[in-house]
Amino acid sequence: MPTGVIDLTHALSQFTDHWSPRRIATLNDYEIKVVKVQNSFVWHKHDDTDELFLVLSGTLTIQFRPGDREDVVLEPNQLFVIPKGVEHCPMTKNGEEASVLLIEPKGVVNTGDAAPSELTNSVVDI
């Protein structure tokens, strides 16, 4: 894992796959990750932790179940924290790609409580 200054643009240039987080740093018991996203993820929740999304490029929509709350649309340099236990589904529209920075406790599974699928990924270091 890199030490010193981390260039987010360079880190994001190191991979092309979507929904596969890359760990770029650790902070105490937290992992700082970057991920490229496109189209829809899976509906899931994290029972034990909040989840922070900071959009670096593109537009990310975080969907919520009807009646829970309105969907959130994030543009570059905007962040949103999803409280633990809240079901959500991140997505981009019209096939667009977005780059996102995530801050989560070590060991968090990206698909949360959803059944393991091809989108379930282990975090890989850049």
Our CA dihedral for 106, 84, 51, 15, rounded to 10 degrees, sits at 70
pLDDT at 108: 79
**What single-letter DSSP state applies at residue 58?**
S
Q: What is the mean pLDDT of the chain?
A: 91
- Per-residue pLDDT tens for 78-122? 999 999 999 999 999 999 999 999 999 988 767 667 766 776 666
What number of H helices and E strands is found in the chain? 1, 9
Question: 8-107 in CATH: which number?
Answer: 2.60.120.10
66: CB partners within 8 A, 6+ apart: none
**What single-letter DSSP state applies at residue 113?**
T
What pTM, to 2 d.p., does this model score? 0.90
Per-domain boundaries in the chain: 8-107
- Cα–Cα distance between 62 and 38 in angstroms, integer? 12
